[in-house]
Amino acid sequence: MCAGRVVIVTGAGRGLGRAHALAFAAEGARVVVNDLGVELDGAGVSAGPAQQVVDEIVARGGRAVAHGGDIATSEGAASLVATTVDAFGRLDTLVNNAGFLRDRMLVNLDEDDWDAVMRVHLKGHFLPLKYAAAHWRAEAGAGRKVPARVVNTSSGAGLLGSLGQGNYSAAKAGIVGLTLVAAAEMGRYGVQVNAIAPAARTRMTEQTFAEAMAAPGEGEFDAMAPENVSPLVVWLGSAASAGVTGRVFEAEGGRITVMEGWRPGPTADNGARWTPAEAGETAAKLLARAEPAQPVYGVRGVGRG
């Protein structure tokens, strides 16, 4: 499906990113494996995880290179795109996946924990997207428009919220907004931009949800394996997904769901300014006709991704 395509995957040293990189390579793509090799909370740096994935791809007959730059900096994001073009002569697909957690209830959430999660998730999506878009705009201007693809990584926490994850939920919600804007702005260059909200067993989820995400018994389908998410990502990152842009998909186990976001529900127009009492009475009537809100993850046993 991806023969001849060149694909960047950020945060590809472990978990979902690793699964995506291997899946793209299996479909014929040349892959740039970006990873800082940090710990779960973002501390430390190691070139090992990215190089290990590159070695796996090469051992299976594929082509890949490692990139250890910090994609939440302009220098690192620009270097990522430059490394890709230098190594393989083109860029076709960007998968933004890098992230980590600093979970706290809001009253205990430090400013540093907020800033760090916003930086790696939201800024770490924006900057690679910015430099990839500039590359594709230049290519289109030179008459070399390609069926370029971007797959961003949101979360159920970004769609519904998640207890103890105010920073992560806000960042992942921001990624959805960024996806919609990028899809609208970049279509003129031949670029499609979509997002996934995956649920899988990774370093970011296994400690919090060890029981729910435990590995299955022998011969059973492992519904929480990160490899289950990658086929959808590969399709979205390929030319086969032509015409699909500005969409968000949930992916978990063998289930794929097209998410339908904010859209107008019941409405009333007074034709003039409401009084507070009128506004309240009207809002109550509208709420009675509206679909009930989905519960925030972590409330009444609701899971999260």
Active site members: 155, 168, 172
Cα angle: 262, vertex 122, 237; to 5 degrees: 75
How far apart (Å, rounded) are the C-alpha atoms in residues 300 and 295? 8
Q: 144 CB contacts (<8 Å, ≥6 apart)?
A: none
H or E element that contains 178: helix 166-186
Alpha carbon 305 to chain centroid, angstroms:
11
How far apart (Å, rounded) are the C-alpha atoms in residues 58 and 64? 7
How far apart (Å, rounded) are the C-alpha atoms in residues 83 and 51? 15
Structure tokens at 188: 């003129």
CB 9 within 8 Å of CB 95: yes
Classify the C-alpha dihedral 291-292-297-300 as positive or negative.
negative
CB 91 within 8 Å of CB 132: yes
Residue type, 238: S
Cα angle: 249, vertex 252, 253; to 5 degrees: 140
The count of other CB atoms within 10 Å of the CB of residue 48 is: 12
Burial class (CB in 10 A: 0-12, 13-18, 19+), 13: buried
Query: Which residue is associated with the tokens 């067993």?
Result: 201
